[in-house]
Every structure is written in structure tokens, then in C-alpha cells.
Amino acid sequence: MFGSSPIRHLSPSEEFFAQAENFIGITLTLRGPVDVGAMSEAFETLCQVYPALAGHLERDADGRHQIMVDDYEHPGMWLEKIDDTAARRLPAQSRALVELRLRQGDERSELTLYTHHALADAHHQFALLEKLFGWYTDIVTGAGVPPVKAEPIPESLEAVLSERGIGKLARFGLERYLPAMFAYELPASKRNAGRIDPRPVLVPSASCRLSRPETQSLLDICAAHRISLNSLVAGAILLAEWTIRDAPHLPIPYMYPVDLRFFLTPPVGPTQATNPVGMAMYLAEIHPNTDIMELARDIVDAFRTDLADGVIQQSFLHFGLQYQGNPPGLPDVVMTTDGGELPPVRTPPGLTVEEYDVEVLFASTSAGVDMYSAATYDGRLVITYHSHGPEPDSYVREIHELLAAIPSRYAWATE
């Protein structure tokens, strides 16, 4: 008989994602032939090295989820035709916490790595993708994969912080929103338009993909103004939201996860923890004459203040299932997760990565999913709006127009 063994319960920060059955998919569009056997072997290696991901989640008698490692092997990757119009297979946390789908075409293929958000944040997930393609490349080029050993089960955020003596503070970031709470007559919230569906479904999305010259121009201007590209993207998203909402008197609450690996001592490895992140908050007071550079700089200043005060590091310790959806009395919160500049994955000769995309899956929750993701891959900035709301294309189109106009307006700073 095959069976499963419990490894550990999910921590509160991980349980948040299990309740929502939240998977994240990274899709790479590949040009050139893909060796199915070699990719399958590379994926098997990934499951051997990270056994928790090959397992699944089960509820115990108290309703808490726990990681179960299976005594049998992962069933393997999914194969589909890229022009197949049938409904796509989607991951399920009761089956496995990692899945790999290859949609094959004549010249191009799409490879999607799904990981459960309770077990891996974006940084963790991309490290897994790098490992996968590294092993695949070694197999295809004849180097092969040396013997591997299983890595330890990744630690929770709570364990990582406890080991470093970080506990709850009185503040956790939402205090920045207090001036706007119950201060305005608000329109209906699009974030609280929940669905009824017991399974994870793909959240509709729309993307804008900047060219390499456009992206490089923004990087040059950011360097000249001493701000990050992340903050400039945040400014464009907030200005686009302000324009489309057409409620100029309402401030916009902004929230974004911060990768704590870069700010903890000792540092945390890419796959050492599940979700070692904090949440940063900002309240955007936007007016017709708001300058995007000043807005971006103000976001950075607020971030630096809360980081120096230790607020961001412990912020997630205050969050729970009660924070699903929009905080009461607030205008709709804008949330963005920014992966920054991602390194290229290793590929064998004849195989190139043409595009990078992200998809988000959620089951039924009390909140309608409404969020942005951004990252730069191969010199191109990609911004995606994930939303069950109407016309997501209009949001990314407005964001693209705002970003595209920056070089001509601020080019003097780089001369």
C-alpha cells in the first residue's frame, strides 16, 4: 500500500495561501526543440531534491493544513499541444504542490512551472526554475545529472524570524492607511466581488511588455534620479489607477511584498524558506499635478523609514485570514508583487527563451482577486494585471503609456 507521511503543519502565514488554494505559474515561451524525455528527467530530479513540493496538503481534525510527503513518485509533467483548445489541466493542492506543464508546438513551446504559494514565494519559485533548466541543459548536452540528495523542508516565515529574534511590534504598516479609513463616501469595491468555486481557477489577466530600449531608458532615468525601477513602476500603476477610477478626491492605499532575504542576518537562501517576505504599505495622495518621479521617491522614502523601524520585517506576523479582501472603510487597495530583474535561465544550444509570463490561480475566497505583478526578464519589463474585474487591458494600456512617456519628459537628467 502506498501512503503519505505528515511533515509539519503550515504556519499561519502559509495557511493563508492554503485556504485560497493559491498556485503561481511561471510560463516561459521557448523557441527551438524541447527534449521531452530530458525535461521529464530534470523534473523528476527537482521532485527528489525538494520532496515537500512533490507532496500535497491535507487538513487535520482541527482544520489546519499539513504537508504530506508521499511514499510514491510524483506522476510527472503534463504534455499538451500548444494549439489544443480543450480546457487546460490545473494544479490541485490535494494532489501535488508542484506541477510542470509543457505545451508543444512546431517552432515554439510553452513551459509552465506551478508551485503552491504556501511552499514558495516568487524568489523561491524562480530558483526552482533555474535548477530545472540547469539539469535539463546538463542532460541534453551529455553532462548528465550527478547524484543528488534531498534538501531540508523549507522553513516558514515565522521560524525564520524567530531564529533571528524578530517578533511582533505594535505597528505593522496598516497605520499608514488610518487617515483614509472611514473618511470618504466610497464606491462599491471591486476587490470584494468574491466567486463561488471550490477549485483553483486561473485569474484573468492582461499584460504590457516593454521593449528592451524602452526598459533600458527607464533604467537610465531611474539611475539618474536615484530611484528604483520598482518604485517607478509602482508610481505608474498608482497614477493609472487614479485616472481610471475617476475619483480624484480619494487616496489610494498601496501594498507590496518585500523579499526579506536581502534584509535579514544571517541571510536566507533562495529555497531555505517558503515565504520570507514582509508587507510594505503606502497611502498615495494623488492630484492632477502629481509628478511620477516625486511619487516614486515618496514610495521609496516610506519604505526606507518602515524598514529602518523594523515594521516591514514583522508585518506578516499580524496578518491572518481576516485580512482577505479590502480593509473596511478604505478605498480599494492596490497590490503589486515585483520580481525585479531576473537572471536568464540556462538553456542548451538551439533553445532560447522568448518570453516570460506569470499566471495566478485562486480557489473561492471572500475577496475578488485584484493585483499586479511585474518583473524584468531578458531586458524587457513585463507588467501584468490579474483581476476578475472588467477591462483589465485598459489598466495595463494606461500604465504602458505613462511609462513610455517618461524618457522624453525626463531625458535631460541622463544627458
Domains for the chain: give ranges and CATH numbers. Answer: 4-140 (3.30.559.10), 157-341+368-414 (3.30.559.30)
Mean pLDDT calculated for residue range 337-351: 97
Determine the pLDDT at residue 366.
45
Strands 205-209 and 380-387: antiparallel
Mean pLDDT calculated for residue range 50-65: 94
Distance from C-alpha of 240 to C-alpha of 234, rounded to nearest angstrom: 10
pLDDT higher than 60, residue 95 = yes
298-343: pLDDT as tens digits: 999 999 999 999 999 999 999 765 456 677 789 999 999 999 999 9
Distance from C-alpha of 102 to C-alpha of 111, rounded to nearest angstrom: 5
- Closest CA relative to residue 111, chosen from 61, 162, 42, 174: 42
Separation of CA 246 from chain center: 28
Using the 8-state DSSP alphabet, how is residue 155 labeled? B
Read out DSSP for 222-256? HHHHT--HHHHHHHHHHHHHHHHHT-TTS-EEEEE
- Mapped onto helix, strand or coil, the DSSP state of residue 377 is strand
- Mean pLDDT score of the chain: 92
Determine the pLDDT at residue 88.
81
Catalytic residue numbers read: 117
* Residue 283 pLDDT class (50, 70, 90 cuts): very high
- Mapped onto helix, strand or coil, the DSSP state of residue 110 is strand
pTM for this entry: 0.94
Is the bond preceding 266 in cis, omega lying within 30 degrees of 0?
yes
To the nearest whole percent, how much of the chain has pLDDT over 90?
81
* Residue 79 pLDDT class (50, 70, 90 cuts): very high
